[in-house]
Copies of this chain bind each other. A is one copy, B any other.
Amino acid sequence: MARQKNEQIRTAIMEAAQQLFMEKGYIATTISSIARAAGTSQSNVYVYFSSKFEIAFAVFDPWLRARVAELEKRVMAQETPEESLRSLIDGLLHGIAADRSGQTLTLVQALATAKPGDEYNPELLIWTMSRIHHMIGGALPSSDPTERNALTHSLMLAFDGIALRQNLRRGEIEDGLSVDALYMMVQALVERRSQARS
C-alpha cells in the first residue's frame, strides 16, 4: 500500500551510531554524523527512529543482553561459590559497568540528557536484575531469599556507581579498590552465614 522501509538502512544507522558513540560518546555524536556514516540524510534518520535517545537504547539494549549472557555462562562454569561470586562481581563491574568500549558512557549520557518525552523500556533493567539474582542463586544455593535480594540490590547499586564514575569522574577513584571492597563485604556476608550454620 505504500513504500517500504529498507531494513538495511535501519541497521546501517544503528551500526554507525554504535561506532560513533564508542568513539566520541553520546553527546558529542551528532545525528548528521550518524546519517553521514550510514549513507543517508539526517532527516531520514527520523523515519527509522523517533529521537537520538531511541537510537542510543536500540544500540545499548542488545549490547547489554549479550554481555550479561556471556557473564552468566562464565559464572555458571565456576566450580566453587567463591569463584562464582568473584567472577560475577568482577565481570559485572570491571567487564560491563566499567567497559572500555564506551557503551555505558552512552547510557549514562543518554539518561542524563533525556528530555521529558524520552522514556525507555524498564524491561531491560528488570531482566538484568533477574539474571544477577539467578547467578547468585547458582553460586549460593542454600542462601535465603533476603540475602539473595540484598546481594542483587547491592550489585546493581555498585553497577550504577561504577557506570557513573567510569564515565564522569574519570580516574579519580581507583575502581579496582571499589571492586575489592565490595567483594570483601560479600565474603563477609557469606562467611557469617556459614558460621551461623556450624
Residues of A within 8 A of B (CB): 27, 108-109, 111-114, 122, 125, 129, 146-147, 149-154, 156-165, 167-169, 172-173, 177-178, 180-182, 184-186, 188-189, 191-192, 195
Beyond the given A113-B113, A156-B173, could you list 20 further A-B residue pairs with CB under 8 A, ordered by the A residue number?
A108-B168, A109-B112, A111-B112, A111-B164, A150-B185, A152-B181, A153-B181, A156-B161, A157-B157, A157-B162, A157-B181, A160-B164, A160-B169, A161-B161, A164-B164, A185-B186, A188-B188, A191-B192, A192-B192, A192-B195
Please determine whether B161 and A149 come into contact, CB atoms closer than 8 angstroms: no
Give Cα A27–Cα B188 distance, bound, in whole angstroms. Answer: 42
Give Cα A182–Cα B152 distance, bound, in whole angstroms. Answer: 10
The 7 closest A-B pairs by CB, nearest first: A112-B112, A161-B161, A150-B181, A111-B168, A160-B161, A157-B161, A153-B181
Q: How many copies does the complex hold?
A: 2
Residues of chain B contacted by A112 (CB below 8 angstroms)? 27, 108-109, 111-113, 167-168
Smallest Cβ distance from A162 to chain B, in angstroms?
7
Q: List 29 A-B contacts (CB under 8 A).
A: A108-B164, A111-B168, A112-B113, A112-B168, A125-B173, A146-B184, A149-B177, A149-B181, A150-B184, A153-B177, A153-B181, A154-B178, A154-B181, A154-B185, A156-B161, A156-B178, A157-B158, A157-B165, A157-B182, A158-B158, A158-B161, A159-B161, A160-B160, A163-B164, A185-B185, A185-B189, A188-B192, A192-B192, A195-B195
